[in-house]
């Protein structure tokens, strides 16, 4: 079975027909990356989970992307299964930031805190001030569009003298119910940050 048929079988878009995607020869990483974005666009979490598990079984899924399987278990309301999977990744690569963030997300859904997880290497999280989060809100509100985490971080970091990095900021944004976080890549710093629609103060 070729990759186009696999996408169709699991409910993904046909990558070969996309206006922004052409394939001259089989490039696995390019196809996988585009496929993941297609599933995210349709919010087809079940289809994407099956697709990534298939790729993992074939050893075609890059290790740096496997954390998304744990996230998809969570999206499919299989939170404990997601945590088990994420723990196996954390055990092999205890400093992976996206694994950390997804574990925190699962614990929050279960009503637990970080002390209830058996960390191999516990991540250090610097507290983000309320005023910093309000600045993030104001910037996105003014631009009326989502902003990549690394851009948002660069816009606000120079204003504050206390120490925090992109990971700290993303962790705080995920805990704040005014923000939505979307990521269709294997790098947490490219996450798109937006404001939840019902919190908007402006008329679009």
CA distances from 8 to 15, 22, 34, 54, 69 (A): 9, 17, 14, 14, 19
How far apart, in whole angstroms, are the C-alpha atoms of residue 103 and residue 124? 14
Q: What mean pLDDT, rounded, does the chain reach? A: 78
Which residues make beta-bridge pairs with 179? 195
SS3 letters across the chain: CCHHHHHHHCCCCCHHHCCCCCCCCCCHHHHHHHHHHHHHHHCCHHHHHHHHHHHHHCCCCCHHHCHHHHHHHHHCCCHHHHHHHHHHHHHHCCCCHHHHHHHHHHHHHCCCCHHHCCCCCCCCCCCCCHHHHHHHHHHHHHHCCCEEHHHHHHHHHCCCCCCCCHHHHHHHHHHCCCEEEECCCCCHHHCEEEECHHHCCCCC
Q: Average pLDDT for residues 29-35, to the nearest whole number? A: 71
How far apart, in whole angstroms, are the C-alpha atoms of residue 201 and residue 204? 9
Residue 169: how many other CB atoms lie within 10 Å: 23
Backbone dihedral region of 111: left (phi > 0), alpha (psi from -120 to 50 degrees) or beta?
left
What predicted TM-score, i.e. pTM, was given to this entire model?
A: 0.67
Q: Does domain 3-116 have CATH number 1.25.40?
A: yes
% of the chain exceeding 90 in pLDDT: 17
In this prediction, residue 184 carries a pLDDT of 55
Which residues make beta-bridge pairs with 192? 148, 182
In this prediction, residue 5 carries a pLDDT of 55
Residue boundaries of the structural domains of the chain: 3-116, 130-199
- Is pLDDT at 190 greater than 80 in this prediction? no
CA-closest candidate to residue 85, choices 105, 67, 101, 100:
67
- Is pLDDT at 151 greater than 50 in this prediction? yes
- Is pLDDT at 94 greater than 60 in this prediction? yes
CATH class of 130-199: mainly alpha
């Amino acid at each position: 079975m070729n990759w186009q048929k696999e996408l169709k079988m699991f409910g993904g878009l046909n990558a070969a027909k996309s206006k922004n995607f052409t394939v001259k020869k089989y490039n696995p990483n390019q196809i996988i990356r585009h496929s993941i974005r297609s599933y995210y666009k349709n919010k087809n979490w079940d289809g994407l989970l099956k697709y990534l598990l298939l790729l993992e079984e074939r050893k075609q899924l890059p290790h740096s992307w496997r954390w998304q399987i744990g996230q998809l278990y969570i999206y499919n309301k299989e939170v404990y299964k997601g945590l088990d999977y994420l723990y196996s990744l954390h055990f092999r690569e205890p400093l992976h930031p996206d694994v950390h963030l997804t574990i925190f997300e699962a614990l929050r859904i279960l009503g637990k805190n970080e002390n209830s997880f058996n960390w191999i290497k516990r991540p250090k999280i610097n507290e983000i001030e309320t005023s910093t989060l309000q600045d993030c809100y104001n910037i996105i509100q003014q631009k009326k569009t989502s902003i990549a985490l690394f851009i948002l971080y660069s816009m606000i970091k120079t204003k504050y003298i206390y120490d925090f990095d992109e990971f700290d900021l993303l962790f705080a944004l995920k805990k704040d119910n005014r923000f939505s976080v979307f990521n269709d890549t294997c790098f947490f710093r490219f996450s798109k940050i937006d404001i939840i629609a019902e919190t908007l103060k402006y008329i679009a």
